[in-house]
């Protein structure tokens, strides 16, 4: 369990009741990781949603390597070289790993620490159970998750356009 006071200071959790904050605190685990730590990769099944307390987390996707010739057969068979591209950086007060709350609970991108970081990992099974008992809590949290998804889609679009323009 972590302190509900730690959670309260983040705008992502604004408007939640004391009981909601206590539920989050009970479902949360404090983690400290070194730069390069991989939280998850694209396609992994997720069981946690995270909020950054300190440091920076990169949201990463695999993209075809630039400056490498990719034959048509490589492209058709998906055997081309790839490189990890950071499409956005998540800092203090920001959430990542939202796929843990959204079916089918598979990561649509990866996440790794860009610097030594401290995060809170919330157990999604505990949260989903709490959401069923308190629909208002679930609704507010899913609204916030939807806003995160919206921002990540925007970041991915901008990164994609930048890569196309660079070619």
3-state DSSP assignment of residue 30: strand
Is pTM, for the whole model, over 0.95?
no
Domains and CATH numbers, the chain: 4-166 (2.60.120.10)
**CA distances from residue 104 to 18, 74, 161 in whole angstroms, order as listed:** 30, 29, 28
**CA distances from residue 158 to 11, 108, 164 in whole angstroms, order as listed:** 25, 17, 10
Q: What is the pLDDT of residue 155?
A: 76
Q: What is the pLDDT of residue 56?
A: 98
Q: In whole angstroms, what is the distance from residue 160 CA to residue 25 CA? A: 37
In degrees and rounded to multiples of 5, residue 58 shows phi and psi of: -95, 130
**Residue 116 per-residue DSSP state:** S
Q: What is the pLDDT of residue 81?
A: 72
pLDDT in 10s for each residue of the chain, 167 residues: 899 999 999 999 999 999 999 999 999 999 999 999 999 999 999 999 999 999 999 999 887 666 766 565 655 566 667 788 888 899 999 999 999 999 999 999 999 999 999 999 999 999 999 999 999 999 999 999 999 999 888 877 877 777 677 66
């Amino acid at each position: 369990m972590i302190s509900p006071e730690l959670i309260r200071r983040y705008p992502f959790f604004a408007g939640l009741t004391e009981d909601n904050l206590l539920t989050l605190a009970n479902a949360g685990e404090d983690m400290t990781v070194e730069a390069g730590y991989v939280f998850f990769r694209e396609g992994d099944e997720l069981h946690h949603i995270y909020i950054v307390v300190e440091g920076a987390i990169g949201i990463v996707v695999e993209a075809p390597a630039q400056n490498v010739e990719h034959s048509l057969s490589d492209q058709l068979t998906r055997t081309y070289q790839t490189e990890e591209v950071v499409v956005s950086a998540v800092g203090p007060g920001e959430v990542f790993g939202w796929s843990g709350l959204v079916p089918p609970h598979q990561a649509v991108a990866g996440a790794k620490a860009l610097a030594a970081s401290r995060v809170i990992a919330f157990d999604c099974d505990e949260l989903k159970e709490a959401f069923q008992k308190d629909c208002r809590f679930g609704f507010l949290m899913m609204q916030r998750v939807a806003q995160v998804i919206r921002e990540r889609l925007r970041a991915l679009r901008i990164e994609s356009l930048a890569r196309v323009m660079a070619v």
